[in-house]
Amino acid sequence: MNMFDKPIYVTQPFLPPLEGLQEYLKDIWESKWLTNNGKYHQLLEKALCDYLGVKYISLFSNGTLALITALQALKISGEVITTPFSFVATTHSLWWNNIKPLFVDIDPETFTLDPGKIEAAITPKTTAILPVHVYGNPCKVEEIQNIANKYGLKVIYDAAHTFGVKVNGTPIANFGDLSVLSFHATKIFNTFEGGAIVCHDEKTKKHIDSLKNFGLVDEITVVEPGINAKMNEFQAALGLLQLKYIDNSIERNKQIVYVYRQGLRDVRGITVLEDIDKVQHNYSYFPVLIDKEKYGKSRDDVYEGLKKKNIFTRRYFYPLISQFPTYKELESAKPGLMPVAEKVAKDVLCLPIYPALDAEKVLFIIDSMKAV
């Protein structure tokens, strides 16, 4: 089997036709309004509210600053229950707010925060829950909300993976007190870099808008210590253009997922994730689990073997956040406390998926997985 000349990377950003963006750029050049709630910023906020089915959205320059600001907006302090199975930005946002993370284990089917482990982790200092929707799989939102209501906790969702996802017809970003989105280049919907906070009322929206703009409410009034996290007009313009193609991108990824599942579902030692009942997925990732005893090779063996064929996968998420030096000394981070997360992190491998990935390459990846 011959390698492809060009590497097949785990992801590749979708970019719309350049001529479409040029029309927006000409307008920005003429107006010379480059940032600070400009025309395209306002248009994109409205367009995203319409597309995502949410009431209020505040755009950010990236998802990490949106996470940090969301915690500030709700005045979260003390301790927050969260997952070790995420990108480090989730927990870093707590660290930047001087909040102690309390790690609990994940659900073995969705890889999201296990609601059954939350109550035992709650202490008198716990003020919130920070769950993460993983690979587009939504958390068990109703169970989490019931626990939050019982103990008077806020819920902020890291929804970076779930653009456009719905549960029982309800947009995923409508759950919790706030939901934080990422529009990073690797996401199914991107604005080069970018992010957003979804909230439920105008007062909270104005508060968030103030926080992301130095705490300003007008030209001479600063009401709180804010940060500079505004999305610029170039990002917003790209976002408006991307929305015209997002449904096609999701549909194309869906087709790729189905081909992967058909080709790998019956391979001994490989576990693929199936669609969740009553969930409208966005098919932005394709993770598999590699069982070394049944497959004959470890996940890392497969990872290295595929690289030799010019296929670049990702061990996503590995290591666990709780295993990084910044957090591993925490009581909740001790080895053995989160056996599901530890096993998934050891076995998971995300295969290449993006709209431009053609069928020949998908079949080549499947064949390579079988050959390794």
What average pLDDT values come out for the chain (372 residues) when binned by 10 residues?
Answer: 80 96 97 97 98 98 98 98 98 98 98 98 98 98 98 98 98 98 98 98 98 94 96 98 98 98 97 97 98 97 97 98 97 98 98 97 97 88
Q: Is 303 helix (H, G, I), strand (E, B) or coil?
A: helix
pLDDT score, position 202: 98
- What CATH homologous superfamily does 246-371 map to? Aspartate Aminotransferase, domain 1 (3.90.1150.10)
Helical spans, DSSP H, in 184-338: 202-211, 233-243, 246-264, 292-295, 299-308
pLDDT score, position 2: 55
List of long-range contacts for 42-48, beta carbons under 8 Å, 24+ apart? 43/236, 43/240, 44/191, 44/231, 44/236, 44/237, 44/239, 44/240, 47/239, 47/240, 47/243, 48/196, 48/239, 48/243
H or E segment and range at residue 276: none
Provide the CATH topology of domain 18-243: Aspartate Aminotransferase; domain 2 (3.40.640)
pLDDT score, position 239: 98
Looking at residue 313, the DSSP 8-state letter turns out to be: -
Q: Which residue has the tokens 């079988």?
A: 370
Across the strands, what pairs with 157?
179
Dihedral (CA of 358, 362, 251, 258) sign: positive
Positions of CATH 3.40.640.10 in the chain: 18-243
pLDDT score, position 323: 98
pTM listed for this prediction: 0.97
pLDDT score, position 372: 85
Across the strands, what pairs with 334?
none
Which distant-in-sequence residues (6+ apart) come within 8 Å of 239 by Cβ?
A: 40, 44, 47, 48, 183, 189, 191, 194
Positions of CATH 3.90.1150.10 in the chain: 246-371
pLDDT score, position 1: 46
Distance CA(185)–CA(197), nearest Å, equals 18
